[in-house]
A and B are shown apart, each in its own frame.
Chain A
Amino acid sequence: MSNELVAPDKFFLNRFGMNHGALERILGSALERKADYADLYFEYKSAEGLALEESMVNHTSKSVSHGVGVRVCAEDRTGYAYSDEVTIDRMRLAAEAARAIADQRGTMPAAVQVGAPVARHALYDLPSTPLEVPVQERAKLLSEIDRIVRAHDPRVKNVMASFACEQKIVMIVKSDGQVAADVQPLCRLNVTVIAEDGKGRQMGSYGGGGRVEWNYFIENDRWREYALEAARQAIVNLDAVDAPAGETVVVLGPGWPGILLHEAIGHGLEGDFNRKKTSAFADRIGQKVASELCTVIDDGTIPNRRGSLNVDDEGTPTSRTVLIEKGILRGYLQDRMNARLMKMEPTGNGRRESFAHSPMPRMTNTFMLSGESTPEDIIKSVKKGLYAVNFGGGQVDITNGKFVFSASEAYLIEDGQVTRPVKGATLIGNGPDVLTRVSMVGNDLALDAGVGTCGKDGQSVPVGVGLPTIRIDGITVGGTRA
C-alpha cells in the first residue's frame, strides 16, 4: 500500500505493463483527427463492505475493479470509450472509437510527450486506510453498535449497521503531457434503527465518514454518537404529528440541511448547464440571487472530507470557488471543456463516477458561511413555523429551477419555541429565489458528517454539504395538515 502512496503513477505502469512511449502512441492515435485534446483515465479500485443485521455481521463483501477510459474532446463534442481490460490493444481500440467524434479533415498534431507531473494537494495522505484494519476489528465495532443501541431504549426493535471502505488509485494522462495521479481512500459508517411503540414504528438513520483512517471513528467516540443519533431520530419520530401543508417560515438546522444549497443553487451553477443555457441561473453572474447575508462556497480542498479531492478526475487540482458572495452570483463550477468554451478557468470540478464515465462539472463540498445570529435568536424570532434538522434526499429541475429536499426530522415552532415533532415532509422551492428569503444566518456553520452522494446523468459521486442555522421567510412544506 505504501509504495502506491508514493507513486500511484508507477503503480499503473508496473501493474499493466505500460510505459510512457505506449501512452504517447495511444494519445497520438486519439488525436489523429482534428481534436482539441485527449486524456486517459486509469482507475484501480478495491472495496470492502461489512453489514450487520439482527445482531449478526452476516454480510461481507469485497471487490476489485479496474479499467481505462479514453476521451477525445473537439469543440463541444466528446468521444469516450472505456474497457475493463487494461491492455495496449484495448486502449488503441478505445482511442479509435473515441476519436470518431472529431472532424475527419484534421491534421496530425505535434507528438505527445508524457511526463510532467501535476502538482496536487495532499488532503488525505493517510498512514493506513481502514482496508488494512482486520475484518474482525471492523466487525466487532458493528456488534458493539448493535449492543449499545439495543441497550439504550426498549423501543429499539431492529438495528442495521454497515461499514464500507474503498481505495481508488487513479492516473490521468493528458495530451499536453501532464500526468496526475492520486490515491483516494473513502469510508463510511452507517447505522439505521427501527423503533416501535404501541402506536407505530419509525426508522432513524445516521452515519459519517470521509477520506479518513479507522481511528477517526474511534476517537471522540464518533461511532457511539452515530449509533445513538440514529436511535434518537427513530424514537423522536414515534411521537410525530402530521406536518403542516403550505407556505411557512422554515428554520433549517446546521450541517446536513445544507442539502438545500446543493439542490437549490449548486446544480444550477454547474458549467455545462450554463454554457448550454439550460439552467435557470444562465447569464446571471453579477446579479443578486440571495439576501446579502448569504455567501456560498464550493471547496474541494478541505482535508479528509468526503467531497474533497487532491486533483479532480481530469487532472486539475481542486479549489475553493465562491458561488455567491453577499447575495451576488459570482461563479460557476467548471470542468475543462466547459471552462474553455465559456472562456473561464477550470475550477477543479470535473468529476466522474469511474473509468466507465466521462467527466462533467460536479460539486465537491458546498456550504454557506456563518453569519452573526445565534441559533437561539433565530428560533425565538419565529412565531409560527417549522424547524427542520435532518433530511433525506433532494432533487432539482435545473431548467425551471424548482427543487425539493425531504425533511426526516422536523418540529413545529410555536411562539418562538420548538414544540412537537412532525412527520417527514418534502419542502419545495424555487432555486433562484429561495435564498433571497433568507432573513437570518446563524454563527454555527457545520459541515455534514460525511455520507452524501450526488447523482447526475446516471453518475454518483461523493459530496459534502454544510450550513449554519438559517431562517427562510417562506417555503412550501408538503405535509398533510392543511
Chain B
Amino acid sequence: MATVDIELANWALDEARRKGASAAEVLCVTAESLEAGVRMGEVEKLKSSRERRLGLRVFCGKSSATSSTAELERDSLGAFVANTVELARLSAADPWAGLPEPALHPKSLPELSLADPDSGIVSADRALEIARTGENAALKFDPRIKNSGGAEFSSGRYRVLFANSQGFSGEYSGTSYSLVVAPIAQDGDAMQQGYWYTSNRRFGKLEDAESVGVTSAKRALRRLGARKIKTTHAPVVFDPDMAAGLIRSIVGAASGPALYKGASFLLGQLHKTIAAPGVTIVDDALIPGGLGSKPFDGEGLPTSRKNVIDKGVLATYLLDCYSARKLGLAPTGNAARSVGEAPSVSTTNLYLEPGSYTPAQIIGSVKNGLYLTETIGFGVNMVTGDYSRGAGGIWIENGELAYPVQEITIAGNLKDMIAGVEMIGNDLNWRSSTVAPTIKIAEMTIAGA
C-alpha cells in the first residue's frame, strides 16, 4: 500500500507539471476504523469503514487551486489533475500564494510514537465487550440510572502521505482508540444525561472501562435536581474540560487567517500583555504519543513546541505560509490540512500550564459562584471577543459545591476573561489534544430567572 501511494503521488506531481503547473502538492490519506455501540446492555451498532483519498494543490505561477478525488485509477486521475490545473489558471494571481521556502523543509522527521505497536483495529467482539463493560458499570452504579444513550468503543488507524514538487515528502501513521459512555439519570419526570470518555493512541493506555462508566454515572447524577438561579455577577470556576474549551477559543483568535481577515479580537496584540501573569499556554506538536502530535505540518514544515501565551504575553501567532507572508512573519509549522482543502491553521497539543492550587482550594475560595461543567451553543464572537453561552454546573456556596444549576448563561468578553484568570489548578490531565487544569475567572455575568 505504502509504495503504491508514493508512486501515485509522484505520478500526480509529474502529471501536474506536464499539464503546465509550476508547482504542486499531493496529500494522500488512508484510513480504517471500527465503531461498536451498545445500549442498555444490547448490541446497537457496528460500523466498519475504509477510505483512501488523494488531495492536490497546484500552482500556475501565483494562481492556485485545490482538489480531491476518490478516483485513483491513472486515467481518471490524469483527467482530474488536468481539470485542477485548468481551475488554477482561472484563479486570481495572488502575490502571497506559493509553496514554502524550500530551505524550510525538515531534513529528518522526529519519531513521535503515533501508532500503537501492539494493537491495530480492535475486533468487533472485543470492542462490544469494552463498551458493554463501560455501560454496565454506569447502569449498576445507582438505581436512578434507569436509561442510557449507550456506550461506544472505536478504534482506527490512518496513514498520511505528503509530497510536493520541490522534493519534500514525508509520511506518518497513527492509531486512535476511544470509549464514550452516556447514561441517563432519572428522578421523577426529570432526566439528565452524563457523559464521560477516554481517548488514547495506545489501546493499553485507555482509562479502565469501568471507571469511565462510573464517572459518567456520577456526572449524570450530579445534574439531577438542577434549578435556575437569579441573574447575578459572580466568579466562575471552569472545570478542566470547560477550561480547555476556553483556551481553544482564545488561541483560535491568534490564528493567521483570522488575523489577516481582521476577524480577530487579538489583532495588534502580538507581544502585548493580554492575560493574567500566571497564564502560559503552550502548543507542542512533539509530545510522544500525543493525540495532536505530528512530525511535519500540512505544508511539509517542521512542527515545534512554543508558548503561545507566555506569562500573560501573547508570544506568537499561529501561522501557515500564506497568512505568515500576509502578516510579514515567519510560518510557525501550524498549517493543518485535510484532503482537498487549502491549508488552514490549527493547534497541535494545546495546554494551559498548571498552577499550584488544588481544585478544592479553588472551589473553596468562592463564596458565591458557579462551578461550570458544561456549556451549550456557539455564542463566541471572534471579532470582538464577546462571549455568551448556555451553561450548566453546580452552584458554589461558602466554598462548597451546593446544588446543580441549569438553563442559565454566562457572558463576558474573552479579553476580560483571560485577563481575569485568578487561580489555576494543578490538575492537568492529558485526555484530549487540548487540555487545561481547573481555572477561576474573577467575574462574569450569569443570566437566569
Contact = CB atoms under 8 A, between A and B. Distances in A.
A402 B377 CA distance: 11
Given A81-B47, A97-B46, A478 B390 contact: yes
Contacts of B50: 82-85, 90
A424 B80 contact: no
Contact of A358 (B45, B231, B411): B45
A232 to B, nearest CB: 16
B445 interface: yes
A130 B449 CA distance: 49
B406 A402 contact: yes
B289 interface: no
A395 B149 CA distance: 18
Contacts of A278: 147-149, 184, 191, 193
B47 A358 contact: yes
Nearest to A55: B92
Contacts of B42: 76-77
B376 A479 contact: no
B69 A57 contact: no
Contacts of A160: 261
Contacts of A57: 91-92
B321 to A, nearest CB: 14
A269 B263 CA distance: 37
Contact of A100 (B46, B92, B148, B379): B46
A480 B411 contact: yes
Interface stretch (B81-89, B109-117, B161-169, B246-254): B81-89
Interface string A228-255: 0000000000000001011100000000
A220 interface: no
Interface in A120-151: 135-136, 139
A61 B88 CA distance: 9
A399 interface: yes
B378 A478 contact: no
Nearest to A196: B262
A406 B377 contact: yes
Interface stretch (B7-15, B59-67, B132-140, B206-214): B59-67
B385 to A, nearest CB: 10
Contact of B342 (A59, A280, A399): A59
A222 interface: no
Contacts of A81: 47-49
Query: Counting chain A CB atoms within 10 Å of each CB, which of B47, B51, B190 scores highest?
Result: B47
B216 interface: no
A77 B262 contact: no
Contacts of A58: 63-64, 91-92, 94, 97
Contact of A426 (B88, B231, B233, B377): B377
B376 A397 contact: yes
A60 B407 contact: no
Contact of B68 (A65, A404, A406): A65
A393 to B, nearest CB: 4
Interface string A387-408: 0000011111111101111100
Interface stretch (A199-207, A287-295, A318-326): A199-207
A345 to B, nearest CB: 23
Nearest to A399: B193
Interface string A202-233: 11000000000000000000000000000000
Contacts of A430: 407
A406 B45 CA distance: 34
B142 interface: no
Nearest to A160: B261
Contact of B376 (A194, A358, A395): A395
B346 interface: no
A284 to B, nearest CB: 11
Nearest to A204: B383
A113 interface: no
A429 B407 contact: yes
B261 A53 contact: yes
B43 interface: yes
A62 to B, nearest CB: 5
Main secondary structure of the interface of A (DSSP, over half): strand
A65 B53 contact: yes
A396 to B, nearest CB: 8
Contact of B48 (A61, A97, A246): A97
B51 A356 contact: yes
A310 B42 CA distance: 35
Interface in B392-430: 392, 406-413
B155 interface: no
Interface residues of A, number: 80
A109 B79 CA distance: 44
B147 A276 contact: yes
A390 B260 CA distance: 26
A259 to B, nearest CB: 11
Contact of A482 (B88, B379, B383, B445): B445
B381 to A, nearest CB: 6
A5 to B, nearest CB: 21
A394 B190 CA distance: 23
Given A59-B91, A65-B70, A97-B46, A202 B388 contact: no
A135 B184 CA distance: 51
A383 interface: no
Contacts of B389: 404, 426, 478
B386 A423 contact: yes
Nearest to A263: B377
Interface string B188-231: 00111100000000000000000000000000000100101001
A203 B258 CA distance: 12
A83 to B, nearest CB: 5
A400 B191 contact: yes
B231 A482 contact: yes
Given A84-B50, A395-B376, A404-B376, A135 B94 contact: no
B388 A67 contact: no
Interface in B23-52: 39, 42-52
A356 B49 CA distance: 7
A98 B46 CA distance: 7
Given A61-B341, A63-B67, A101 B447 contact: no
Nearest to B185: A399
A428 interface: yes
A201 B411 contact: no
B330 interface: no
A178 interface: no
B232 A428 contact: no
B106 interface: no
Given A392-B378, A404-B377, A277 B383 contact: no
Given A84-B52, A478-B390, 16 more contacts: A59-B342, A63-B340, A90-B50, A98-B48, A136-B90, A194-B263, A201-B383, A247-B448, A392-B378, A393-B378, A394-B377, A399-B191, A399-B193, A400-B192, A406-B378, A477-B409
| Closest 6 pairs (CB-CB, A-B) | A478-B409, A404-B377, A404-B390, A246-B231, A245-B447, A426-B379
9 contacts: A61-B65, A61-B340, A66-B70, A194-B262, A200-B384, A425-B409, A478-B389, A480-B413, A482-B445
